Structure 1
Amino acid sequence: MAPSAFRHDHRPPGFVLWPRAVEAVARIARIAPVVTLSNVSYWDERETDVAALLAPHLQAHHPSWQLGFAKPDPRAVRTVARLHGRDPAEVLHVGDSFDYDVRGALAAGAHALWINPRPPSADALRLLAEHPDRVTVVPDLTRAVEHIEQTVLPSTHMIRSSSP
């Protein structure tokens, strides 16, 4: 269905980057390619150009409405990995949602870096224990960047194993 044929007055709240997100992405982009995978709709993307907000530091931006898959569907992460010539095991998926970002990355065979300032739930702790070398938990974006700088091998963009 063409977007013009869908009669819906959708007014999403404006998208706002986390404070210091551009600086964080710039630091990461110096050592590894950075791409985004976002569960945004066509209408949300019309309101905010995420790629432009993070330019010139992004290699690519992949909104779910273009991919045909949304997180936590593992096909979303697998598709992005394939589009960039990578195996999902080489991908470090960074996000703040346990259900969408961590579960989705693990289901795809990727690594996850979970930004979570609160103590994980019992359910989250069980899943983290099942994947000790594939998930790291950090309290904020600054620590996420530091973790990436310490664990990504710049010459290969491969991730060193680490645990939370």
Structure 2
Amino acid sequence: MHFQVRAITLDLDDTLWPFAPIGARVERVLHDWLLQHCPRTAEQFPIEAMRALREAVYVERPDLSHDFSQLRMLSLIRAMELSGDDPAHADAAFETFYAERNRVEFYPDSLAALERLAARVPLAAISNGNADLARIGVHHHFAFQLGAREHGTPKPAASIFHAACTQLAIAPGEVLHVGDDIEMDVVGAHRAGLRSCWINREGHTWPHELIRPDLEFTTLAALADWLDAAHQPDTAAA
């Protein structure tokens, strides 16, 4: 299938890099920091207990469901207060977490594919997570990054897709959204009027009958191949 694509919006976690290794690693690194600087907090809230506290804070603050960074900070402050440590340490603890959160390992095809895609059309990142493309070192491939925290509403809300299209100054129907998540990325983009591409690295079966992605690939490199082919001049009439 070929159609006009004037810009691409990209999900980040589990599209450009796997998130599971990051999620496991940041908890260990944060706990090690707490052991050194806030030992009472580390003792009262080892990794499992800290995770449970964080989930409780999430339930308490549904108004911050779009802001993982603020929820993480509130969880750290709560843990330190309950443990008798100085909550002033929360800023340094968060920075330790956030530096590790942005230490990503790209899928093998991602970096080369990003460069190829950016050479064809403008790229913008749309993410519910709190990755920082500047810290990661790939911001130069993107026109901008739009997070749920900055926008105020997460995917799959149509408004975050429309905000990206407005910033790109391109109509939704000419923007292709690319991501791994069936509901957040593909269904969300479809309902917002964008084209959609499902990056299905694990070979999952599509679950919906009435909504389907416009494109489906197992790698980002395959999308770059498709976009290259779509930009080749039509020589059929030559």
Structure 2 CA distance, aligned partners of 1:152 and 1:37?
Answer: 24
Q: Does 1:18 align with 2:68?
A: no
> Structure 1 residue 114: deviation in Å?
0.6
> Structure 1 residue 119: deviation in Å?
4.2
Structure 1 CA distance, aligned partners of 2:195 and 2:161?
Answer: 10
Corresponding residue number in structure 1 for 2:227: 148
Please tell me whether the aligned partners of residues 116 and 138 of structure 1 are also in contact (alpha carbons under 8 angstroms). Answer: yes
> Structure 1 residue 137: deviation in Å?
0.8
Corresponding residue number in structure 2 for 1:157: none
Query: What TM-score comes out, normalization by structure 1 length?
Result: 0.73
Evaluate the alpha carbon distance shift between residue 138 and residue 7 of structure 1 in structure 2; reply closer, same or farther with a 3 A threshold. closer
| Counterpart secondary structure, 2:228 | helix
Select the residue among 173, 180, 194 that pairs with 1:89.
173
Q: Which has the higher helix share?
A: 2
Structure 1 CA distance, aligned partners of 2:177 and 2:189?
Answer: 6
Q: Which has the higher strand share?
A: 1
> Structure 1 residue 50: deviation in Å?
1.7
Corresponding residue number in structure 2 for 1:66: 150
Q: Per-residue displacement from partner, 1:79-110 (whole Å, max 9, x unpaired)?
A: 10011111111110011111111001101100
> Structure 1 residue 152: deviation in Å?
5.4
Structure 1 CA distance, aligned partners of 2:147 and 2:231?
Answer: 25
Select the residue among 33, 43, 60 that pairs with 2:122.
33
Query: What TM-score comes out, normalization by structure 2 length?
Result: 0.52
Once the two structures are overlaid, the 10-residue window that deviates more, 18-27 or 79-88, is 18-27
Evaluate the alpha carbon distance shift between residue 144 and residue 104 of structure 1 in structure 2; reply closer, same or farther with a 3 A threshold. same
Once the two structures are overlaid, the 10-residue window that deviates more, 107-116 or 145-154, is 145-154
Corresponding residue number in structure 2 for 1:110: 194
Structure 2 CA distance, aligned partners of 1:109 and 1:153?
Answer: 26
Structure 1 CA distance, aligned partners of 2:232 and 2:153?
Answer: 29
Structure 1 CA distance, aligned partners of 2:172 and 2:115?
Answer: 23
Evaluate the alpha carbon distance shift between residue 32 and residue 75 of structure 1 in structure 2; reply closer, same or farther with a 3 A threshold. same
Partner amino acid for 1:146? D
Gap regions ≥5 residues in structure 2: 1-63, 65-69, 77-93, 234-238
Structure 2 CA distance, aligned partners of 1:153 and 1:108?
Answer: 28
Structure 2 CA distance, aligned partners of 1:51 and 1:69?
Answer: 22
Partner amino acid for 1:87? A
Structure 1 CA distance, aligned partners of 2:150 and 2:140?
Answer: 21
Q: Does 1:138 align with 2:217?
A: yes
Structure 2 CA distance, aligned partners of 1:142 and 1:27?
Answer: 9
Select the residue among 126, 133, 141 that pairs with 1:50.
133
Q: Per-residue displacement from partner, 1:135-160 (whole Å, max 9, x unpaired)?
A: 11111122122122223589xxxxxx
Number of equivalences: 140
Structure 1 CA distance, aligned partners of 2:228 and 2:209?
Answer: 25
RMSD: 2.7
Select the residue among 205, 227, 230 that pairs with 1:120.
205
Partner amino acid for 2:225? E
Select the residue among 67, 74, 80 that pairs with 1:7.
74
Partner amino acid for 1:148? L
Structure 2 CA distance, aligned partners of 1:70 and 1:112?
Answer: 17
